[in-house]
Amino acid sequence: MIPMPNLDVLGFLVLATFAVLCGLSVILQKHAVASALSLVGVMGSLAVLYLMLGAEFLAAVQMIVYAGAIMVLFVFVIMLLNSGSERPAKARYFAYLVGIPSLLAFLGVISFFILKELPNTSSVQFGAFTQGGPAPVGRLLFTQYLLPFEVTSLLVLIAIIGAMVLAKKEID
Amino acid sequence: MDFFLVSLIKIVVVFGAFMTTLAYLQWVERKVLAHIQLRLGPQRVGPHGLLQPLADVIKLATKEGLIPANVNTFFYILAPFLAVSLALISIAVIPFGPEIELFGVRTNLELTSLNIGVLLILAISSVGVYGIALGGWASNNKYSLMGGLRSSAQMISYELPMTIALATPLLVLNTLDLRQIAERQGGGWFWNWTAFSYPPLLFIAFIVFLISAFAETNRVPFDLPEAENELVAGFHTEYSSLAFAGFFMAEYANMVTITCVSTTIFLGGWHPPFPAPYSNFVPTALFWFFGGVLLFHGLTQPARRWDRFTFPAFGVISLGLGAIFLLAATVLPIIGQILLPVFWFVAKVGLLLFLFIWVRGTLPRFRYDQLMRFTWTFLFPVALGCLLLTGLGVALFG
């Protein structure tokens, strides 16, 4: 049975299309700033999708951390280096000969696995999941997933110290 | 149907009030700055320059919108749109007053209630930097680029102490919903507000938040993105007409939003500083006091020719407003339930906005290295210390 297209499905289609278009734009743009901003578009539409699925906390964090902090740093560095637009490399005959069949094969494998897995899973219901607020997520992080959470924070701390050590080193 | 109609009315009212505030905030700023510097400020258009914002809007809208050669046209046009639209979104989650009942319809004095309201505001403010950074980069001008880069670096750096300072009261309040945050501070004296609980920890957090707010909105003393003696006009050097007006409006909208947020989270939202039966008469007293001063001043010692008419006129308006508030506080609770909370909210926001302008008239601009050293070596550790100590306090006594 085909479900009636309601507002949620329409919203999903619009956002999914936008996300895919932005994703294509990331790799097709000639200018690095344009690519980075397309990536922001992908993250923004993903955040709204999370919101529609009921994961409000995840949506907000996606915007704050990815779109607001990491991508701002990316754009900042690209602007600081002031890189111009790239000329696309001339594609060789060999690249077409190997590239297109392997792309098709890759897509085939992916779609095979998706189609194989799909009947086993029930389709997502918008609005059915309500445990995505800050309180349930926080409770899970501090009970069930406490160890991975703490280990991740330790990992981030090590990365920060490593970055500082590398940055402090004099360039000979 | 009721829901849509009520929402539509609320949107129209809030949008109109917000836009008027933005237009007149600029007039207030020019007037206050002028009086700080012993000048008169806008005086020509309308009585005391009151129609100056209208004249400015007409001027900006009728100017030629120039797109310079060799700019990245798409991003050049996109940047002011991004800046304005992101700056105008956040007002939607700010609560202005409690739940009211009007003609049998119960509704909250706000546009929408989210259980992640604080996070939404943080998300929007962290994305807001794109408008400025892109505008600076797409202009293809070294001064603009420097302005955009400074702005990005500054906003990334100050976001950290701001977010931590904002997280500190959330430990005490135990919610991310702005309506619940405001409600949990009410019902009593001003020491129930979060800024005054666990003294002096949360007051320090409030000060840290305010300082970071100055940097987030690119205001003096942190207005290095548009330092005119180094960068002409910074990121909006190449912009003219409505695109320039967009950046201008975005700055003021960010200012209003951030003062609304600090009022809601730190200063008890719409709650008066002392309990209800007496605080209800404060607006009347204030308006009548101002009305009396204006009448006296205008009738006895007018400094300029027009003051003889304008001062008494404003005085009568002020007396009338006082009378309306007196009616609202005593015999017309149906108006009072809207007017009185909104008065206290607007009064607190107005005081904070005045502080923004006051600081602009008082402090010189930081140097860039001072700006960065200040946030990373002072503001950030202070905010972190406040958060940890408040956490300890909540764990021990909460």
Contacts of B176 in chain A (CB under 8 A): 134
| Residue span of the structural domain in which A149 resides | 142-172
In a domain, A64, yes or no: yes
> So what's the pLDDT on residue B287?
87
Asked if the Cβ–Cβ distance from A76 to B153 is below 8 Å, we say yes
> So what's the pLDDT on residue A141?
87
Contacts of A133 in chain B (CB under 8 A): 115-116
> Which pTM was predicted?
0.84
pLDDT tens digit string along B123-153?
888 888 888 888 888 887 888 888 888 888 8
Query: Could you give the ipTM of this predicted complex?
Result: 0.75
pLDDT tens digit string along A8-34?
778 888 888 999 999 988 888 888 888
Q: Which of A84, A99, A125 is the last residue of a domain?
A: A84
> So what's the pLDDT on residue A1?
45
Res A122 pLDDT > 70: no
The span from the CA of A44 to the CA of A50, in Å, is: 10
Residue of B nearest to A44 (CA): B127
Contacts of A31 in chain B (CB under 8 A): 72
Q: Provide the H-helix boundaries in chain B.
A: 2-36, 52-62, 73-89, 117-127, 129-138, 142-173, 178-183, 201-216, 228-231, 241-266, 276-279, 282-300, 307-330, 333-362, 368-373, 380-397
Say yes or no: A101 contacts chain B, CB-CB below 8 A: no
Q: Is B128 helix (H, G, I), strand (E, B) or coil?
A: coil
Say yes or no: A141 contacts chain B, CB-CB below 8 A: no
Contacts of A37 in chain B (CB under 8 A): 75, 130, 134
Verify that A1 and A73 share a domain, yes or no.
yes
Q: Which of A51, A66, A84 is the last residue of a domain?
A: A84
In a domain, A100, yes or no: no
C-alpha distances out from residue A10 to A5, A126, A137, Å? 7, 12, 28
The span from the CA of A52 to the CA of A14, in Å, is: 12
The span from the CA of B309 to the CA of B269, in Å, is: 37
- CATH number of residue A27's parent domain: 1.20.120.1200
Res A140 pLDDT > 70: yes
Indicate the number of domains in chain A. Answer: 2
Say yes or no: A95 contacts chain B, CB-CB below 8 A: no
Distance from CA of B122 to the nearest CA of A (A): 7
Verify that A151 and A80 share a domain, yes or no.
no
The span from the CA of A155 to the CA of A147, in Å, is: 12
Q: Which of A66, A84, A102 is the last residue of a domain?
A: A84
Residue of A nearest to B174 (CA): A135
- Tell me the average pLDDT across B304-319: 83
Say yes or no: B171 contacts chain A, CB-CB below 8 A: no
Say yes or no: A137 contacts chain B, CB-CB below 8 A: no
Asked if the Cβ–Cβ distance from A76 to B119 is below 8 Å, we say no
- Residue with tokens 């754009």, as numbered in its chain: A75
* Structure confidence at residue A83 as a pLDDT band (50, 70, 90): low
Contacts of A61 in chain B (CB under 8 A): 119
Torsions phi, psi for B70 (to 5 deg):
65, 20
Residue of B75, B156, B176 lying closest to A73 (CB–CB): B156
Tell me which amino acid residue B74 is: F
> So what's the pLDDT on residue A35?
86
In a domain, A106, yes or no: no
Q: Is B143 helix (H, G, I), strand (E, B) or coil?
A: helix
Distance of CA B250 to the CA centre of its chain: 11
Burial of B303 (0-12, 13-18, 19+ CB in 10 A): exposed
In a domain, A71, yes or no: yes
The span from the CA of B56 to the CA of B60, in Å, is: 6
Residue of A nearest to B158 (CA): A69
